[in-house]
Structure 1
Amino acid sequence: MKKAIYILLFALLLGACDEGFEELNVDPTKPTQVDVSTKLTAAQLLASSERYDNWRANLIYQSTMMQHIATTAGYWDGDKYTWNRGYASSLMDRYYGGVVKQVEDMLAQLDEEGAPDEMKAITRILRVFAFSRLTDLYGDVPYSEAGKAVIEGILTPRYDPQSEIYADMLNELSEAAAALGSGTSQFGDADIIYQGDQAKWKRLAYSLMMRLGFRLIKVDPAGSQQWVTTAINGGVMESNADIFYVPHTGGPEGINRNGNGEVFTVDGNPRLSKTFVDFMQAGNDPRLPILGARRSDGSTAPADLIGFPNGLNAQMLLDMTGEENMDNYAEPNRSIITGEDAPMFFQTYAEVEFMLAEANVRWGLAGDAETHYNNGVRAAMEMLSLYGDAGVIASADIDTYLANNPYDAGNALEQINTQYWAATFLNEYESFSNWRRTGFPVLVPINFPGNVTNGTIPRRMSYSESEQTNNPTNYAEAIARQGSDELTTRVWWDVN
């Protein structure tokens, strides 16, 4: 991993030099091209992204809307349902100029160089992941023409309907999986996620396929079942060794820092939501002292961890409790999970097991729902070891939790997807999407003064304001087709 990061840094440093030496021994008729393996490392880091959008889209909006996080800070708009357009559009603002541009450039270069199909397949899977985040958060987005300003001169890309984006993403995953074998990709260690392991990328392709297939459950139930079945038959993640995540380090210069961690470094306002803490305390969840710590003294004793109610400002807190600050409430544990060197999770084995459990409940697929549920809970707890030794939970403690919180077939879908919500803490893009798909966990909306949703939880984020002037025709077409560019407009697959 470090070797790949150093290669990337070296390439960036070369690009920053301007001493005239670049003109020596260079054929002026041929463009200078960075090795595509180095570009893969950069693309993976760009998918994890930086403080800007992780702060705004992931944490300020989605983590509080999903009641994982709460705070009185006025600029944390998510659980107050107020509208900061720049914050809401932050993923769009960063992803199109970052990971989207990079993967489109990589695919063009791979074609030009006649690269092996397995390298193209890995790039296509990463591309699907990036676009799935964008379309799930915004709905109709630039897709077929996106990231091609340099390659094809397209400066004002059309917004594709989400139904067409989903059809193509699922097809891309199917073709990419078919192109992968069991050996090591030529990307090698430049692949900081799987180190070129084609079998893991193949399982990821089918795991993402299952995720996207389930997104269709309300709009195309038959199609949802078909894609989930295909994914299961293809072979999804098998253990925590298959988790799709970016490992981070402390730097240098922010190149490989965890964007969420960068937020927690500079922002001391976030607290764990009362909804989240109450859920964990009710089940005596051994994750709680790993995920949370009291702000005042760092205590992780479960009895000391009080969740903060969503939807309050400082005056409302004072009026309600007489407290002038939030120091007695639990915050994300700064000694374990909030570091700039923490892993950034994109999709986990725990999520896959919960989806397999749901597939069995809905359609009788994939074996036994209770077994998959138990596997999912265990995986969600064991994966915290990726934060370091302090994140390890003893197997006996997991056994006790499962014994005291057994699978309930009569309440299966709610139980499965509430655990899914717990397992996707800090990956709020997925928490928000799965909540919209299932309605679980059951969250109590906030009616903060001046909110723009009539006291309902938002259903999407809004587009970049610059699109209204820079790409007005395509922006207007998307609005006419999808609905008003507001937080309450539902994306295609999120029907009532």
Structure 2
Amino acid sequence: MTKRIIKYSSAFLLAVSMAVTGCKKLDELNTNPNKPSTADPQYLFTGAQKATMDLLYSGLQNGYIAMHYAQYWSGNSRTNDSQYQLDEGNNSTLWNNLYRISLHNLDGLLKQNAQKAGQPGIANQNAMALIFRAWIYETLADTYGNIPYSQTFQVTTNITPKYDDAQTVYNAELDTLEAQIKILDNTQPSFTAGDVIYNGNIDNWKKLAHSLMLRMAIRMADVDKEKARKIIEAHYQGAFTGNADNAQFQYRNEAPNKFPFNDSERPISDFFVSSTLVDYMKSVGDPRLPIYARKAQGDTIKGMPYGWASSDKNRLPPANYSIPGTQIYSATMPGMLMGYPEVEFILAEAAARGFSVGDATTHYNNGVRASIEYWRTLTNSNNITDSIVQAYISRVPYNAADWKNVIGTQKWLALYPQGFQGWFERTRLKFNKPGGSPLFIAPVSGSIDPGVKFVPYRLTYLISEQTQNAVNYTSAAAAIGGDTKGTMLWYNKQP
């Protein structure tokens, strides 16, 4: 962390608070410059939620980085991203904004509430903030590996924090989540405003905490199976039980609260849906395909082979390839933090690994069905009938002998367009199509990064960290095995 991470957060927070809430008049914001005020905790919470979702669903971070690395999309005229050349501006925005805006807002909320400890609702507010914070730290650890954690926001004593081991961050946040589940009390108030995700609903925040623990536990299942088993068996019954529980940020069709990457005001031609996604969905008759992608020239959905440079003379003109679906680019597309289908796929995998969480086939079928029903409801696709859903499940049956490929493929499909989560699961499970034939391909026109031939496992640290936090950067790079995109994360290093 550098001084810059903290320096500009207050100005951005004010902008976010005004933009999202729309309820404070400008004259109400006039203050004595010699006695600066602080934003109310509810606005800090809104600001953290919106800033995080705007970033993780931006075309710059989700589109050019995560959706490419998950191989959901491929580039149009700008194909270097599909060939693993990382845009350092997009990378630095991801890191800096999560720290200096999202996490800093939550840190400010907790510090303000510390002055009101014991008052009704404060414990619940803090618990919700800490659950949301755990999700952000998990995302950072899954993206970069070792990260600043224990020494962040010590701005008066330490502006060059050390990097903590990513597994240590995981363990600490698992403890935090478990503690917040016990603290949350639905006999007490929480946020009366400011919580866009759950509107202050305490039971829903508990379910989210349980569900996030499942996600983190299954990621470590190949590294510490017994710990993963203990966590999942203890928490699965408190996790999401239906799509109504989904943790999502609902955008609105009005500026500046539209989904970050939408085509309501201008056409977007940056990305094509990959042939990896399209061809597999076609092969199994997936009813979600017309939602995930639009028809191209010739009235058909056609994917672009991944990482195919626009300079290649064999590539057809852009009109021949499909762009993402209208719902994906809708101004009101929800920003998903975590959904029920993911929980069911986690439990299917847990059951396949021998954990006591019920039947793998049942959880798998629930996950497939829940994903399709989510999209059917979101798009009002009445043509996707229950019989169509059941027929699809019959075409992609669970197979215990091939569980990694079967669950991995359907989970990957269900996570669209959560690019970061799709990418993390791709690298963690290393799955193929059911039966074992390859699903993913290397970039058709080759990788620009000599350290990555097939898929990046992480993003490199910011260039600025090499000079502004040099000692800790050097130590962190050495600890993970080198600051390259080809360096595997701690839970990727298992077979």
TM-score, normalised via structure 2 length: 0.88
Give the drift of 1:219: 2.0
Q: Distance in 2 between matches of 1:371 and 1:495?
A: 30
Change in 2 beyond 3 A, CA 1:391/1:331: farther
Q: Distance in 2 between matches of 1:395 and 1:90?
A: 43
Residue type at the aligned position of 2:66: Q
Per the alignment, residue 492 of structure 1 pairs with: 490
Q: Check if 1:332 corresponds to 2:324.
A: yes
Q: Distance in 2 between matches of 1:186 and 1:493?
A: 36
Change in 2 beyond 3 A, CA 1:172/1:113: same
Moved more, 42-51 or 471-480: 42-51
Per the alignment, residue 483 of structure 1 pairs with: 481
Per the alignment, residue 31 of structure 2 pairs with: 22
Which one of 199, 205, 210 corresponds to residue 206 of structure 1? 210
Q: Distance in 2 between matches of 1:229 and 1:12?
A: 50
Q: Distance in 2 between matches of 1:474 and 1:452?
A: 25
- Superposition pairs of residues 229-244 of structure 1, within 5 angstroms: 229-233=233-237, 235-244=238-247
Q: Distance in 1 between matches of 2:267 and 2:143?
A: 26
Q: CA contact under 8 A between 1:5 and 1:41: conserved in structure 2? A: no
Give the drift of 1:88: 3.4
Q: Check if 1:285 corresponds to 2:286.
A: yes
Give the drift of 1:264: 9.9
Q: Deviations over 1:40-98 (max 9, x none)?
A: 111111120248x7223322122122221012423x43431223333334311221121
Per the alignment, residue 443 of structure 1 pairs with: 440
SS in 1 for 2:89: helix
Change in 2 beyond 3 A, CA 1:220/1:270: same
Which one of 342, 345, 359 corresponds to residue 336 of structure 2? 345
Q: How many residues align?
A: 468
Give the drift of 1:32: 2.2
Instruction: Answer 1 or 2: which has greater helix percent.
Output: 1
Per the alignment, residue 136 of structure 1 pairs with: 142
Per the alignment, residue 182 of structure 2 pairs with: 178
Q: Deviations over 1:150-176 (max 9, x none)?
A: xx4542222111121111010001001
Q: CA contact under 8 A between 2:80 and 2:448: conserved in structure 1? A: no
Q: Distance in 1 between matches of 2:273 and 2:37?
A: 49
SS in 2 for 1:229: helix
Percent identity (aligned): 27
Per the alignment, residue 368 of structure 1 pairs with: 359
Per the alignment, residue 417 of structure 1 pairs with: 408
Moved more, 260-269 or 127-136: 260-269
Q: Give 5+ residue unaligned stretches, structure 1.
A: none
Per the alignment, residue 417 of structure 2 pairs with: 426
Q: Distance in 1 between matches of 2:382 and 2:46?
A: 27
Give the drift of 1:413: 2.1
Which one of 354, 357, 362 corresponds to residue 345 of structure 2? 354
Q: Give 5+ residue unaligned stretches, structure 2.
A: 1-16, 433-438
SS in 1 for 2:85: coil
Q: CA contact under 8 A between 1:61 and 1:78: conserved in structure 2? A: yes
- Superposition pairs of residues 162-311 of structure 1, within 5 angstroms: 162-182=166-186, 185-233=189-237, 235-252=238-255, 254=256, 256-261=257-262, 265=266, 267-296=268-297, 299=299, 304-311=300-307
Per the alignment, residue 8 of structure 1 pairs with: 21
Change in 2 beyond 3 A, CA 1:385/1:155: farther
Q: Distance in 2 between matches of 1:264 and 1:458?
A: 33
Per the alignment, residue 39 of structure 1 pairs with: 44
Change in 2 beyond 3 A, CA 1:91/1:184: farther
SS in 2 for 1:245: strand
Give the drift of 1:117: 1.6
Q: Distance in 1 between matches of 2:265 and 2:280?
A: 23
SS in 2 for 1:463: coil
Change in 2 beyond 3 A, CA 1:194/1:449: closer
Q: CA contact under 8 A between 2:75 and 2:81: conserved in structure 1? A: no
Q: Check if 1:122 corresponds to 2:128.
A: yes
Residue type at the aligned position of 1:202: K
RMSD between aligned alpha carbons? 2.6
Q: Distance in 2 between matches of 1:5 and 1:386?
A: 32
Q: Distance in 1 between matches of 2:470 and 2:346?
A: 39
Give the drift of 1:454: 4.8
Q: Distance in 2 between matches of 1:12 and 1:478?
A: 46
Moved more, 433-442 or 340-349: 433-442
Q: Check if 1:65 corresponds to 2:65.
A: no
